[in-house]
Amino acid sequence: MITEVHYKTFGYGKSINEILYQINCWENEFGYMHTELNFITNLLKNYPVNSNTPNLYERIQLFLKELSNVENTRHSLLIEIDDYKNDLIGQDEKHHLESHDYYLITYQKIAESIFNYFKNYNTLKCNIYEYVEGLLETN
C-alpha cells in the first residue's frame, strides 16, 4: 500500500522575511533541478540504443517529452515566484499586515503548486531511474 502525500498548509502567520527566505530556498532548489533536468535529458538522448530492448526508442521519447514538460513547468513556476517576490520586496510589515490575506493566500497557492511539482518531478525521476536501471541490468 502506497501512502499518498498531500500538501498541508503551514504558511499563515508568516512574516515577509520568512516568506522571502522560503522563496530563496525554492529558487535554489529550482536552480539545482535545472542542472539535474539537463543531465537526465542528455543521458536519455545519448543512451546507446540496444536493438534487443523492445520499445526503447519510444519509451525514451516519452521520457524526453515528460522532461520537457517538467522543465516548462519549472520555468513557469520560477516566473510566478519571481513576480511574487518582487511584490513582497520593499513592503514593510505594516503594509503586509494590512494586505495579509492577499500575500498569504498567494503564498499558499504557490507553495501548493511547488509541492505538487516536486512530487511529480520526483515520481518522473524514479520512473526514469528504474527504467534505465533495468536497461543496465539486461546489458
Annotated domain spans of the chain: 16-44+61-138
Q: What is the pLDDT of residue 72?
A: 97
Q: 77: closest CA among 15, 21, 26?
A: 26
Amino acid letter, 31: G
pLDDT of residue 121: 96
Q: Mean pLDDT by 10-residue block, N- to C-terminus, for the chain (139 residues)?
A: 70 78 94 93 78 79 95 96 88 60 86 95 94 75
Output the pTM of the full model. 0.82
Write down the pLDDT at residue 21.
Answer: 92
Q: What is the pLDDT of residue 39?
A: 92
- Given this model, what pLDDT does residue 99 score? 58
Instruction: Show the cell assigned to 87.
Output: 511584490
Contact between residue 37 and residue 70 where contact means Cβ atoms under 8 Å apart = yes
